[in-house]
Protein backbone atom coordinates (compact mmCIF):
# COMPACT_ATOMS: atom_id res chain seq x y z
CA UNK A 1 0.00 0.00 0.00
CA UNK A 2 3.02 2.30 0.27
CA UNK A 3 3.42 2.41 -3.50
CA UNK A 4 1.60 5.63 -4.61
CA UNK A 5 0.28 3.97 -7.79
CA UNK A 6 -1.15 1.07 -5.78
CA UNK A 7 -2.57 3.47 -3.21
CA UNK A 8 -4.25 5.60 -5.89
CA UNK A 9 -5.74 2.52 -7.54
CA UNK A 10 -7.07 1.23 -4.23
CA UNK A 11 -8.61 4.62 -3.39
CA UNK A 12 -10.33 4.51 -6.78
CA UNK A 13 -11.81 1.08 -6.03
CA UNK A 14 -12.64 1.23 -2.32
CA UNK A 15 -12.23 4.88 -1.33
CA UNK A 16 -10.13 6.35 1.49
CA UNK A 17 -12.44 4.65 4.06
CA UNK A 18 -11.85 1.31 2.40
CA UNK A 19 -8.08 1.76 2.29
CA UNK A 20 -8.10 2.60 6.02
CA UNK A 21 -10.14 -0.54 6.72
CA UNK A 22 -7.95 -2.71 4.53
CA UNK A 23 -4.92 -1.67 6.58
CA UNK A 24 -6.62 -2.92 9.75
CA UNK A 25 -7.94 -6.28 8.54
CA UNK A 26 -6.38 -9.30 10.22
CA UNK A 27 -4.52 -11.87 8.11
CA UNK A 28 -6.22 -15.08 6.97
CA UNK A 29 -9.90 -15.82 6.53
CA UNK A 30 -12.15 -13.22 8.14
CA UNK A 31 -15.81 -12.83 9.04
CA UNK A 32 -17.09 -9.27 8.64
CA UNK A 33 -19.20 -9.32 11.85
CA UNK A 34 -16.25 -10.56 13.87
CA UNK A 35 -13.89 -7.91 12.46
CA UNK A 36 -16.48 -5.23 13.20
CA UNK A 37 -16.97 -6.46 16.78
CA UNK A 38 -13.20 -6.73 17.37
CA UNK A 39 -12.22 -3.38 15.87
CA UNK A 40 -15.33 -1.23 16.27
CA UNK A 41 -15.28 -0.44 12.54
CA UNK A 42 -18.67 0.07 10.86
CA UNK A 43 -19.96 -3.28 9.58
CA UNK A 44 -21.54 -1.71 6.49
CA UNK A 45 -18.33 0.00 5.47
CA UNK A 46 -16.42 -3.26 6.00
CA UNK A 47 -18.94 -5.18 3.85
CA UNK A 48 -19.00 -2.53 1.14
CA UNK A 49 -15.19 -2.59 1.03
CA UNK A 50 -15.06 -6.39 0.82
CA UNK A 51 -17.64 -6.55 -1.98
CA UNK A 52 -15.80 -3.86 -3.95
CA UNK A 53 -12.61 -5.90 -3.57
CA UNK A 54 -14.56 -8.97 -4.69
CA UNK A 55 -15.79 -7.15 -7.84
CA UNK A 56 -12.17 -6.45 -8.65
CA UNK A 57 -11.06 -10.02 -7.97
CA UNK A 58 -9.09 -8.93 -4.94
CA UNK A 59 -11.23 -10.90 -2.47
CA UNK A 60 -13.42 -14.00 -2.45
CA UNK A 61 -15.87 -15.44 0.03
CA UNK A 62 -17.61 -18.63 1.03
CA UNK A 63 -21.04 -18.47 2.63
CA UNK A 64 -22.34 -20.54 5.48
CA UNK A 65 -25.96 -20.65 6.50
CA UNK A 66 -26.73 -20.92 10.20
CA UNK A 67 -29.18 -23.84 10.39
CA UNK A 68 -31.04 -22.27 13.33
CA UNK A 69 -31.37 -18.64 12.29
CA UNK A 70 -31.06 -19.15 8.52
CA UNK A 71 -28.61 -16.24 8.43
CA UNK A 72 -25.70 -16.29 6.07
CA UNK A 73 -22.18 -15.74 7.29
CA UNK A 74 -19.53 -14.62 4.82
CA UNK A 75 -16.02 -15.95 5.29
CA UNK A 76 -13.71 -13.68 3.34
CA UNK A 77 -10.26 -14.20 1.89
CA UNK A 78 -8.19 -11.39 0.42
CA UNK A 79 -6.22 -11.88 -2.79
CA UNK A 80 -4.09 -8.79 -2.86
CA UNK A 81 -1.46 -10.71 -4.81
CA UNK A 82 -3.81 -10.19 -7.82
CA UNK A 83 -3.35 -6.46 -7.44
CA UNK A 84 -0.37 -6.10 -9.75
CA UNK A 85 -2.08 -8.10 -12.46
CA UNK A 86 -5.18 -5.89 -12.09
CA UNK A 87 -3.02 -2.77 -12.24
CA UNK A 88 -1.31 -4.01 -15.41
CA UNK A 89 -4.70 -4.56 -17.05
CA UNK A 90 -5.92 -1.12 -15.97
CA UNK A 91 -2.71 0.51 -17.16
CA UNK A 92 -2.83 -1.23 -20.56
CA UNK A 93 -6.46 -0.16 -21.01
CA UNK A 94 -5.63 3.46 -20.21
CA UNK A 95 -2.61 3.47 -22.52
CA UNK A 96 -4.71 2.04 -25.34
CA UNK A 97 -7.42 4.70 -24.83
CA UNK A 98 -4.90 7.52 -24.88
CA UNK A 99 -3.16 6.09 -27.96
CA UNK A 100 -6.48 5.83 -29.79
CA UNK A 101 -7.34 9.40 -28.83
CA UNK A 102 -3.97 10.59 -30.11
CA UNK A 103 -4.51 8.71 -33.37
CA UNK A 104 -7.96 10.34 -33.72
CA UNK A 105 -6.59 13.81 -33.00
CA UNK A 106 -3.67 13.53 -35.44
CA UNK A 107 -5.67 11.97 -38.28
CA UNK A 108 -8.50 14.53 -38.23
CA UNK A 109 -8.96 18.27 -38.66
CA UNK A 110 -11.34 20.01 -36.30
CA UNK A 111 -13.52 23.08 -36.54
CA UNK A 112 -15.32 25.04 -33.88
CA UNK A 113 -17.26 28.31 -33.51
CA UNK A 114 -16.50 31.31 -31.28
CA UNK A 115 -19.07 30.01 -28.74
CA UNK A 116 -17.39 26.63 -28.53
CA UNK A 117 -20.70 24.80 -29.05
CA UNK A 118 -18.94 21.60 -30.13
CA UNK A 119 -16.01 20.32 -32.13
CA UNK A 120 -16.78 19.34 -35.68
CA UNK A 121 -14.71 17.18 -37.97
CA UNK A 122 -13.70 18.87 -41.22
CA UNK A 123 -16.12 16.66 -43.19
CA UNK A 124 -19.03 17.70 -40.95
CA UNK A 125 -18.09 21.39 -41.00
CA UNK A 126 -17.86 21.31 -44.82
CA UNK A 127 -21.38 19.87 -45.05
CA UNK A 128 -22.81 22.87 -43.19
CA UNK A 129 -20.69 25.34 -45.24
CA UNK A 130 -18.66 26.07 -42.12
CA UNK A 131 -21.60 27.44 -40.18
CA UNK A 132 -22.15 26.15 -36.64
CA UNK A 133 -25.41 24.11 -36.64
CA UNK A 134 -26.02 25.15 -33.02
CA UNK A 135 -25.47 28.95 -32.95
CA UNK A 136 -25.12 29.72 -36.67
CA UNK A 137 -21.77 31.47 -36.17
CA UNK A 138 -18.89 30.81 -38.51
CA UNK A 139 -16.80 27.68 -37.93
CA UNK A 140 -13.05 28.09 -37.95
CA UNK A 141 -10.07 25.76 -37.81
CA UNK A 142 -9.17 24.64 -34.30
CA UNK A 143 -5.52 24.02 -33.61
CA UNK A 144 -5.27 20.84 -31.52
CA UNK A 145 -1.46 20.94 -31.36
CA UNK A 146 -1.50 21.52 -27.60
CA UNK A 147 -3.78 18.56 -26.98
CA UNK A 148 -1.74 16.32 -29.30
CA UNK A 149 1.41 17.32 -27.42
CA UNK A 150 -0.18 16.56 -24.01
CA UNK A 151 -1.46 13.17 -25.16
CA UNK A 152 1.85 12.28 -26.70
CA UNK A 153 3.77 13.37 -23.53
CA UNK A 154 1.41 11.26 -21.42
CA UNK A 155 2.09 8.18 -23.58
CA UNK A 156 5.85 8.74 -23.37
CA UNK A 157 5.58 9.03 -19.57
CA UNK A 158 3.48 5.88 -19.30
CA UNK A 159 5.78 3.90 -21.56
CA UNK A 160 8.76 5.04 -19.50
CA UNK A 161 7.19 3.57 -16.34
CA UNK A 162 6.81 0.18 -18.11
CA UNK A 163 10.54 0.08 -18.82
CA UNK A 164 11.39 0.60 -15.17
ZN1 LIG B 1 -21.77 27.49 -32.23
In the chain, what are the domain boundaries?
Answer: 4-78, 95-163
45 membership: H or E segment, kind and range: helix 43-55
In this predicted structure, the answer to whether residue 149 has a pLDDT above a threshold of 80 is: yes
pTM: 0.62
Residues with CB under 5 A from ligand 1 (ion): 113, 115, 117, 132, 134-135
pLDDT of residue 134: 96
**Distance of alpha carbon 4 from alpha carbon 82, whole angstroms:** 17
Q: Is the dihedral of CA 14, 15, 20, 23 positive or negative?
A: positive
Higher pLDDT, 91 or 99: 99
Q: How far is the CA of 108 from the centre of ligand 1 (A)?
A: 20
The beta-carbon contacts of 30-38 under 8 Å, at least 24 apart in sequence, are 30/75, 30/76, 30/77, 31/73, 31/74, 31/75, 31/76, 32/74, 32/76, 33/73
Helix axes 83-106, 145-163, angle to 10 degrees: 150
Class of domain 4-78: mainly alpha
| Cβ-contact 125, 111 below 8 angstroms | yes
Could you tell me the distance, in angstroms and rounded to a whole number, from the CA of residue 119 to the centre of ligand 1?
9
* pLDDT for position 141: 97
Within 13 A of 7's CA, how many CA atoms are on the CB side?
7
pLDDT score recorded for residue 53: 95
Distance, in Å, from the CA atom of 147 to the CA atom of 151, rounded to the nearest integer, reads 6
Report d(CA 65, CA 108) in Å as an integer: 60
- How does the average pLDDT of the chain come out, rounded? 92
Tens digit of pLDDT for each residue in 10-69?
Answer: 999 999 999 999 988 988 999 999 999 999 999 999 999 999 999 999 999 999 998 999
Q: What is the pLDDT of residue 162?
A: 73
In this predicted structure, what is the pLDDT of residue 164? 60
Query: For residue 5, how far is its CA from the centre of ligand 1 (angstroms)?
Result: 40
Amino acid sequence: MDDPVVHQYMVKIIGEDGVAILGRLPAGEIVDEVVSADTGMDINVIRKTLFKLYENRLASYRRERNPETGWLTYHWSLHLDNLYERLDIEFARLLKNISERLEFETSNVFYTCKNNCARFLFEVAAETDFICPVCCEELFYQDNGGLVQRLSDRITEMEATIRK
